[in-house]
Structure 1
């Protein structure tokens, strides 16, 4: 009788533990679901406030561990037709273009077609360096001292002209340098123009074709392209300015931003780009390590920049990031390697930069 009683008691105990386990799992799943909803709702609230339904908008994508966990659009892609923004809208990404230029250079380096310590006079023999050694490395890191063409008087006079890369280089090459190579860091669009020309000189392809064939096609970034005003581009978002009301963006020739800022993309394609960089699909890991080195000046001071990416910190975690600004558009991409979190925001008004909100969302994703 005692044996039967103990058996029954043991059976009841096992049933209780099993029931407790079921309750615990159910509660955990419920908590996870609620927390997931809270995370999504938090991001929605932040972005709805910044990009209201009746104004130019933005698209945002968040990925974690290689999986998209958030992808939404806000505001309008076209004010005149009141067209709502959607995830597939195509934006001018401005200086995020520099990432593609830097990786193109590294692809050529891996192929043995250039060296990072090559002097620019190897490719442009008559470039006036005035006895200074200016290398590809200097161009990639914004430490060349060459004056950025976007800060030169007279830029407006050529803004709508379609120039060849060499004609654009002629516009700034005779300007006095701002400092000796390697002495300072100063963000510089001219350096990335020179890199685009070097890509063309080595490959025999124009910059747009090289990027399309070797990056966009390889990664199936089907919505990405070199920008054009004249071509019909499906799902193109219209760009705007805001000063005493909204106005259409100022028109410039895309031959000016060229390899420093003339690409277009979507948040979905930019996710493909980030995954390709993370997984070394275009360049080897050891080459990527060179790209993401925090370089130093001649005096040993870190510049918080690699090749085409700023190297910063968010919540004490290493962050690889870059923004973009071109007439009527702002963009920002942030990648946190330790958490494998990527946040990309593309907006269609020069008045409403996604930079700070993208970094804020990255922090929230770190604790999700």
Structure 2
């Protein structure tokens, strides 16, 4: 573990939450270590290879699957939904894969309804999405939509002819060396998977101990969240994205392009690409990032491409006390880790 990063974390992190921090520079892992416990009751420490729910960071894998299918000539991001889903209601006929990827399709998660753990099938999710009322015309506005990425996961299945997780495993994870990433296909030992804790520190179980189907989460979560991975595997994904073996340069340029201006964060312009946020900093640097959060956990994955630095940190405790809120401290923590990894 890098002593400067370790020292920074010791002063920056509050007592209580558990988690893991990974940092890489120039393709080399410079820090990978845990803090606190992955399982408090059994005193299992958080480690580099602890398995966590990466939550909405899942979206970048769904986007990468779409780009992989485009590379194979199976689809184009300009294709409309009707090409894959048959007859489409009139208000949604102009929706393309690009709109889903950039959260500009107009789909409204609240209008569609449904909890992450509601036992809805793929076709049930699609029916709900297609009959819902749009928030805006396709392409007109940015509205972050989880169900839009579930629709993309369904399209991955329809086009590839295999299940969503299996497609990711065969075409993204295995070629990247990510043997410990997925929904149900990896064979984890139970003690390797982090228990999640709510704000009060009450254990909420492991991610797959919530209502799931036999092959993974139900379809209001599948494709937009819920993938399990390890910090070391996320480093391997970063390494894969630095090369062209998994995704071509053209595919990555599309995926990382700042397609839609979302707003300004911490004084920097924040755009959305395909499954990634794209930040243009005041000093001209580009940062590719996506966070993920639920009522129990929070994580951040950031790639500082100008300096070839990657930071991934995740906690299994929705910690908020006094001045501390790990979600609100995200930028401070991430930039602090990045600076020390680069130095």
Q: Secondary structure at the match of 1:322?
A: strand
Q: Deviations over 1:59-95 (max 9, x none)?
A: 0011011111111100111122122111110000011
Bigger mean CA offset, 160-169 vs 247-256: 247-256
TM-score norm. by structure 2 comes to 0.85
Larger radius of gyration: 1
CA contact (8 A) 1:227 1:262 kept: no
Corresponding residue to 2:114 among 148, 155, 173: 155
Name the residue aligned to 1:311. Answer: 278
- Change beyond 3 A, Cα 1:129–1:281: farther
Unmatched 5+ stretches in structure 2: 262-268, 320-325
The answer (yes or no) to whether the contact 1:98–1:192 under 8 Å persists in 2 is yes
1:298-346 C-alpha deviation (Å, 9 max, x unpaired): xxxx971111110013563210000112352211011111100000012
Contact kept? 2:195, 2:203, Cα under 8 Å: no
The CA deviation at 1:362 is 4.5
Asked if residue 346 in structure 1 is aligned to residue 311 in structure 2, the reply is no
User: In 2 relative to 1, CA 87–232 (structure 1 residues): closer, same or farther, beyond 3 Å?
Assistant: closer
SS at match of 1:304: strand
Structure 1 counterpart of 2:202, from 217, 229, 246: 246
Match in the other structure for 1:144? 105
Give the 3-state SS of the residue equivalent to 1:205 in structure 2.
Answer: coil
Q: Distance in 2 between matches of 1:103 and 1:362?
A: 26
Match status 1:45 vs 2:7: no
Would the aligned equivalents of 2:56 and 2:225 in 1 still touch at CA under 8 Å? yes
Q: Which position in structure 1 is the counterpart of 2:84?
A: 123
| Aligned-residue RMSD, C-alpha | 2.5
Pick from 217, 221, 233: which aligns with 1:257?
Answer: 221
Q: Secondary structure at the match of 1:166?
A: helix
2:79 partner SS: coil
Structure holding more helix per residue: 1
Partners of 1:129 and 1:62 in 2: CA distance: 47
- Cα distance in 2, alignment partners of residues 119 and 66 from structure 1: 38
Following superposition, the deviation at residue 348 of structure 1 comes to 0.6
Q: Secondary structure at the match of 1:312?
A: strand
2:273 equivalent to 1:277: no
2:266 aligned residue: none
What stretches of structure 1 move > 4 A for 4+ residues in a row?
A: 230-234
Quick one: which of 155, 163, 186 aligns to 1:198?
A: 155
Is residue 332–residue 358 contact of structure 1 (8 Å, CA) maintained in 2?
Answer: no
Q: Distance in 1 between matches of 2:231 and 2:28?
A: 14
TM-score by length of 1: 0.79
1:62 to 23, 34, 37: 23
Deviation per CA, 1:85-124: give whole Å up to 9, x if none. 1111000001111111101100100110001110011111
Residue 339 of structure 2 is aligned to residue 359 of structure 1? no
Q: Count the aligned residue pairs.
A: 318
Any conservation in 2 of the 1:239–1:327 contact (CA below 8 Å)? no
Contiguous gaps of at least 5 residues in structure 1: 1-35
Q: Identify if the C-alpha distance between structure 1 residues 129 and 92 changes in structure 2 by more than 3 Å, giving closer, same or farther.
A: farther
Match of 1:237 among 190, 194, 200: 194
Question: Are the structure 2 counterparts of residues 190 and 106 from structure 1 closer, same or farther at C-alpha, using a change threshold of 3 Å?
Answer: same
